[in-house]
Amino acid sequence: MEATKKYFHEVWPEEEAILKQGLEWSRQSKAERTKKKMTRRIGFACKYMHPDQTQKKKLLEEIQRPLNTRSTTVAWLNRQTKEVAEERLWDIMVHNIKSYYNLIEYVGGLPNELRMVRLGSDVLPVYTEPTWSYFWRKPDVRQYCEKHFADVGTTARELDVRLSMHPGQFTVLASDDPDIVERSIEEFEYHTDVIRWMGYGKQFQDFKCNVHISGRKGPAGIKDALKRLSPEARNCITIENDENKWGLEHSLELEDDLALVLDIHHHWCREGEYIEPTDDRFKRVIDSWRGNRPTIHYSVSREDLLPLHSKKHRPDFQTLTEQGYKKGKLRAHSDYMWNDAVNTWALQFLEYADIMVESKCKNLASIDLYDYWINTVCVNKDLNQDMFVNVSTKQSLKQAKAPVTL
């Protein structure tokens, strides 16, 4: 699969220079990369956003489209003839696999510490939907997926981009309803097909595919479901604590079965605690990865929910709830990682784990956090700046005057 040349004419000039510099660096010999590579990473989830979100909506859509997936609905497909519906699914498949490739090329051109991204789950729409799942079993469709997803995986490995996926909220492996468990396993195995085609799932945690415990059966239900997953799925699955019924203590019941993901914002919402990276519970999370580098999830409460709160002080959960703030509001993700005090605390975890930023502004938020880390946290700790790519990504992007369009 060829790189989409058009994309590099749609970014800002300064951003293009950064991307090309990063691509050149990442394609050096493995020995040379090993000398320079810093293993700590900050990633973002699923969607690319252009640095200048003040542009007109139509222009933004045109610029962002090559890097983001498209989808469709069962309702729309059911209203079409079989030929029209299949043509739409084929077009979406081609676009979405290319969007994976373009997104990974973009991430692979960023500083090494930003080379981590979660891929969207809707890459192959209606894959498990009974009426339309036959399309994805057609020989020509299967052949296309196998060939081009392989190119995507090869590119990710060449550019040293860490990938992950996160099946949606309806993947409930621990449900007490057998039908829901069956559909959830099908959905997880759909993700595993994509992972397998990209060349992952061969070893324990060479790829992270994360779900919540969910479901009334809890950890016991997860253990039952694990027995029914394919070997590749078992290699990739991770379990994350939530802010409601199944907290960190429940995740730890699975520490011998799979890798655990600590969501530090969920933990704060459930326990009112800023857990420290030196906590024995987090050490057990690290051990569950069996020598692989863990990933944690990080988000903060929305900016507009706490407009008067100083970014120099960490919000106190108990105080906020006593003031009438609801947990459901506090758990919602912000646009950016706006609170410096919380960022300083969260970035401590980089010594032990990579950080997946969960925010509405996606790559812009992860770049913003990276910039804070490099220019504030690392400077204050007097860390060796030669360990990092010497560029302020956020500043460089902001200096660009206008996007170039064709």
Mind giving me the DSSP string for 70-118? ----HHHHHTS-HHHHHHHHHHHHHHHHHHHHHHHHHHHTS-GGG-EEE
3-state SS, residue 386: helix
217 assigned to some structural domain: no
> What 3-state DSSP class applies to 15?
helix
pLDDT for 82:
96
- Residue 361 counted as domain residue: yes
Structure tokens at 21: 């510099």
Q: Domain boundary at 114, 134, 163, which?
A: 163
Q: Is 231 a member of any domain? A: no
What is the extent of the structural domain holding 71? 48-163
Flag whether 10 is in a domain: no
Q: What is the pLDDT of residue 130?
A: 94
- The answer to whether residues 264 and 297 touch, using CB atoms and an 8 Å cutoff, is yes
Number of domains comprising the chain: 2
pLDDT, position 23: 46
Report CA 323 to chain centroid distance, whole Å. Answer: 33
**Within a domain: residue 358?**
yes
Distance between start and end Cα atoms, the chain: 22
What is the structure's pLDDT at 27?
Answer: 45
**Residue 27 DSSP code:** T
Strand-pair category, 162-165 with 208-212: parallel
Cα separations in angstroms, 336 against 44, 114, 142, 368:
11, 16, 39, 8
Distance CA 301, CA 313 (A): 13
Domain contains 277? yes
The pLDDT value recorded for residue 377 is 83
Whether 328 maps to a domain, the answer reads: yes
Q: pTM score, two decimals? A: 0.86
Q: What is the pLDDT of residue 39?
A: 75
- Half-sphere exposure for 155 (CA within 13 Å, toward CB): 23
C-alpha span between 97 and 386 (Å, rounded): 36
pLDDT at 294: 98
Residue type, 87: E
Phi, psi of 261 (to 5 degrees): -110, 125
Q: Look at residue 257 and tell me if it is in a domain.
A: no
Instruction: Quote the tokens at residue 185.
Output: 């396993």
pLDDT score of 378: 82
**164 DSSP 8-state letter:** E
Per-run averaged pLDDT (10 residues), the chain, 406 residues: 37 46 45 51 97 93 96 96 98 98 96 96 96 97 98 97 95 97 97 98 98 95 97 98 95 98 97 96 98 97 91 94 92 95 97 97 97 86 45 39 28
Among 163, 184, 202, which residue terminates a domain? 163
Which of 163, 186, 213 marks a domain boundary? 163
